[in-house]
Amino acid sequence: MPLIHPITRRDMFILAGILLLAAFMRWERPGLVDYRYDEALLSQLAIDWLQGAPLPNRGLIASVGIPQGPLMVYLMAIPYALEANPALATAFVGLLNVVVVGLLWMFAHRYLNPRVAILAALMYAVMPWAVMLSRKIWNPNMQPPFLLVGVLLAAYGFLENKRWAQLWALPFFYLQLQFHYGGLVMFALLAWLMWRGRKNIHLPTFLVSIVITLILALPFLSGLTQTDLDAAQNLVSGDGGGLTFSSDAVQVLYRFLTGNGVEVAFMQAPTATDFYAQMPPLFLWNATIILLLVGVVVAWWRYRFFAPLLMLWAFLTAIILTANIVQAHEHYFVLVIPALCILVAMGVEGLLFIMPDFAAQKQHRHTLSTTPPLHVWRGGGGVRLDLERGLGGEVGEKMMNNRFVFSIKELPHFALLGFFGVILLTQAIWWRNLLTYVDTHPTPYGANAPLHYLLTVREKLLPYSDVMIIGGEVNYSGSLIWKPMLYQTAECVRDVLIEGGEIAVFPAQPFAIVLPPNHAPYGMLELYETANPVTIPMRPGEGEYTLHFHESAPEWSATPITAIEAPLFENGVRLTGYYLSDNQLYLRWHIEENLAQHNTQYFAHFLDATGERSGQRDSSFYNIGYWCEGDTLITRADVQLPADIATLRVGMYTRIEERTVNINVLAADGNPIGTWVDIPIVR
Q: What is the pLDDT of residue 394?
A: 44
Highest mean pLDDT: which range of 142-151, 358-367, 549-558, 609-618? 142-151
Which residues are CB-contacts of 236 (< 8 A; sequence separation ≥ 6)?
A: none
466-469 and 492-495 beta bridge pairing: parallel
User: Residue type for 580, please?
Assistant: L
pLDDT band at 101 (very low <50, low <70, confident <90, very high): very high
- pLDDT tens-digit readout, 144-191: 999 999 999 999 999 999 999 999 999 999 999 999 988 999 999 999
Q: Is the pLDDT of residue 390 over 60?
A: no
Contact 432, 28 (CB under 8 A): yes
Least confident segment among 60-74, 212-226, 378-392, 448-462: 378-392
Q: Is the pLDDT of residue 43 over 50?
A: yes
Q: What is the pLDDT of residue 441?
A: 85
* Residue with more model confidence, 284 or 372: 284
**Spatial distance between the Cα atoms of 551 and 447, rounded to a whole number of angstroms:** 28
Q: What is the pLDDT of residue 552?
A: 93
- Residue 98 burial (10 A CB sphere; 0-12, 13-18, 19+): buried
For the entire predicted model, the pTM comes to 0.85
What length does the chain have?
Answer: 683
Q: What is the pLDDT of residue 271?
A: 62
Least confident segment among 116-120, 194-198, 230-234, 255-259: 230-234
Dihedrals φ, ψ of 538, to 5°? -95, -150
Q: Where are the domains of the chain?
A: 9-355, 451-550, 562-680
Q: Is the pLDDT of residue 680 over 80?
A: yes
pLDDT band at 500 (very low <50, low <70, confident <90, very high): low
Q: What is the pLDDT of residue 235?
A: 63
Q: Is the pLDDT of residue 338 over 80?
A: yes
Q: What is the pLDDT of residue 30?
A: 87
Q: What is the pLDDT of residue 544?
A: 94
Q: pLDDT > 70: what percent of the chain?
A: 86
Q: What is the pLDDT of residue 362?
A: 45
* Residue with more model confidence, 282 or 13: 13
Q: Is the pLDDT of residue 388 over 60?
A: no
Kindly state the DSSP code that residue 352 receives in the 8-state scheme. Answer: I
Contact 485, 86 (CB under 8 A): yes
- Alpha-carbon distances, residue 381 vs 4, 130, 150, 160 (angstroms): 8, 30, 25, 16
Domain 562-680 has what CATH class?
A: mainly beta
Q: Look over the chain and give the mean of its residue pLDDT values, rounded to a whole number.
A: 86
pLDDT band at 474 (very low <50, low <70, confident <90, very high): confident
Contact 310, 446 (CB under 8 A): no
pLDDT band at 64 (very low <50, low <70, confident <90, very high): confident
Q: Is the pLDDT of residue 395 over 90?
A: no
Q: Is the pLDDT of residue 425 over 60?
A: yes
> What DSSP element (H or E) covers 587?
strand 584-591
Q: Is the pLDDT of residue 445 over 60?
A: no
**Spatial distance between the Cα atoms of 292 and 349, rounded to a whole number of angstroms:** 11
Q: Is the pLDDT of residue 53 over 70?
A: yes
Q: Is the pLDDT of residue 70 over 60?
A: yes
Q: pLDDT > 90: what percent of the chain?
A: 62
Q: Is the pLDDT of residue 135 over 80?
A: yes
Task: Give 145-211 as a DSSP string.
Answer: HHHHHHHHHHIIIIIS--HHHHHHHHHHHHHHHTT-GGGGGGHHHHHHHHHHTGGG--HHHHHHHHH
**Spatial distance between the Cα atoms of 143 and 99, rounded to a whole number of angstroms:** 12
Segment 648-672 shows an average pLDDT of 92
- pLDDT tens-digit readout, 191-244: 999 999 999 999 999 999 999 999 999 999 888 887 777 766 666 655 444 456
